Amino acid sequence: MLLRFSKMHGLGNDFMVIDLVTQYAHLSSRLIRQWSNRHTGVGFDQLLVVEVPTRPDVDFRYRIFNADGTEVEQCGNGARCFARFVLDKRLTTKQQIRVETKSGILELHVRADGYVRVNMGLPRFELEEIPLNMPARQANYHLQLAQQSIAFSALSMGNPHAVMRVDNIELAAVTHIGPQVETHPVFPKKVNVGFLQVDSMHSAQLRVWERGVGETQACGSGACAAAVVAIKQGWMQSPVDIELPGGRLTIEWQGEGQAVYMTGPATRVYEGHIRL
């Protein structure tokens, strides 16, 4: 059996996208790991799956699997690619698309210029919602790692994020600190780790160590989390341009109790078939 797929990326954060509305496949973690291998498979950061919705008020179900085979709650760059995919494949003709995810409902708007604006929902700061095992909610938390102590802010954008401000993004110890924080016991579901350099009130640079993947070219939910932290701490004001290694995202947030909006590109790389 041949399974059709698309290879896509959002600012270099790359995906294998599968339509399981008109096709059928049983996805095991072993199979996903096999496909994600960049030497012997398709190669991707995440697998995105389009499914029939389970509720009447949405258009599709959107599922996300990391390269290690684990299913996760949210992927902002993937959401933009999802919107372009369902339009390109004529699974819908709508420019405004509602999709259900593991973390709730996402609203996607494909603009005339091809950019996609995503309502990423409310950021959540309560410890049990992140989740984070700390005594009390704070603006900043401290963590003792193997050789140093770090300060970070934490929140959920549908998936858990820790954000640290750094002076120099190029010198940030992403590959050293990232995996230590990702797997630290205070984060029972692991965590995505953002390293943020603030350049002005409306622009910043960001690198992200993603749980289950490693450092990626871009992380949409990570950019949202970093912008929320920067605005909440008074370092920046909305709208915020976040420059990632793969390109730029624009994030809008008007404060606690308000939804976060992310705007950026989605690119199709190629179409393919894979034998099951």
Confidence of residue 1 (pLDDT cuts 50, 70, 90): confident
Q: Which two tokens stand for residue 179?
A: 């995996």
248: exposed, middle or buried (Cβ count in 10 Å: 0-12, 13-18, 19+):
middle
Mean of pLDDT over the chain: 96
The whole-number average pLDDT for the span 237-257 is: 97
In three-state secondary structure terms, 33 is helix
Model confidence band, residue 146 (pLDDT cutoffs 50, 70, 90): confident
What average pLDDT does the segment 96-103 reach?
A: 94
* Structural domains of the chain, with CATH: 2-121+265-275 (3.10.310.10), 127-257 (3.10.310.10)
Torsional sign, CA 140, 144, 145, 148 = positive
For the segment 125-147, the average pLDDT, to the nearest whole number, is: 95
Contact 199, 172 (CB under 8 A): no
Active site residues: 75, 219
Express each pLDDT in 163-199 by its tens digit.
999 999 999 999 999 999 999 999 999 999 999 999 9
* 147 pLDDT above the threshold of 90: no
> Which contacts of 197-202 are long-range, i.e. CB under 8 A and separated by 24 or more positions?
197/165, 197/166, 197/167, 197/168, 197/169, 197/172, 198/165, 198/230, 198/235, 198/236, 200/236, 201/235, 201/236, 201/237, 202/236, 202/237, 202/239, 202/240, 202/241
